[in-house]
Structure 1
Amino acid sequence: MTTPDRTDDNIKAERIARLEEHVAHQANSIEELSDQLAEQWRVVEQLRAKLDVLTERFLTLEAGSLEAPAVTRPPHY
């Protein structure tokens, strides 16, 4: 009778160990994904700032440009 109890205890201990290993692996994966997300967010913010600068430059150039010439047919038509 003591052997089945010990076997049940061993099985439970092994299951707990596997679950703890699984949780540790998931925690590591979550931390890696969080780091990647933070890095991507930094890149997005940098790109957004660059886009804002370029948009402002474009609008400034557009406002300062002369009116576009009229569209005419080329002389070979």
Structure 2
Amino acid sequence: MTPMSDQTHLEEKIAHLTRTVDELSDIIARQEREISRLTHRVQMLMEREASREYDAGGSIPLADQKPPHW
């Protein structure tokens, strides 16, 4: 390869890698938002179930009790 074609090849590779990094960054940002949303939903469901168990007459919500083997 000539020096010019080496440089062109490296520039193309850098452009490709830059695009890939940008795409991966977007994917990670979407996943972070989705994980945050799902974590919030799980927390809401756990609180709702704990409230339901307490209203049903349980003294300590089942989710907060230690397993019997502890």
TM superposition score category, shorter chain reference: 0.7 to 0.9
Which structure has the bigger radius of gyration? 1
What corresponds to 1:61 in structure 2? 52
What corresponds to 1:27 in structure 2? 18
Aligned Cα root-mean-square deviation (Å): 1.3
Identity of aligned residues (%): 29
Deviation track 1:11-52 (CA, whole Å, cap 9, x = no partner) reads 001001000100000000000000010001100000011111
* Aligned pair partner of 2:31 in 36, 40, 47: 40
Shift of 1:66: 3.7
The gaps in structure 1 that reach 5 residues or longer are 1-9, 68-77
Q: Which amino acid aligns with 2:20?
A: S
Q: Which amino acid aligns with 1:65?
A: A
Q: Which has the higher contact order (CA 8 A, sep 6+)?
A: 2
The gaps in structure 2 that reach 5 residues or longer are 59-70
Q: What is the rounded CA distance, in whole Å, between the counterparts of 2:34 and 2:57 in structure 1?
A: 36
What TM-score comes out, normalization by structure 1 length?
Answer: 0.71
Q: Which amino acid aligns with 2:56?
A: S
Query: Structure 1 residue runs of 4+, over 2 Å off?
Result: none
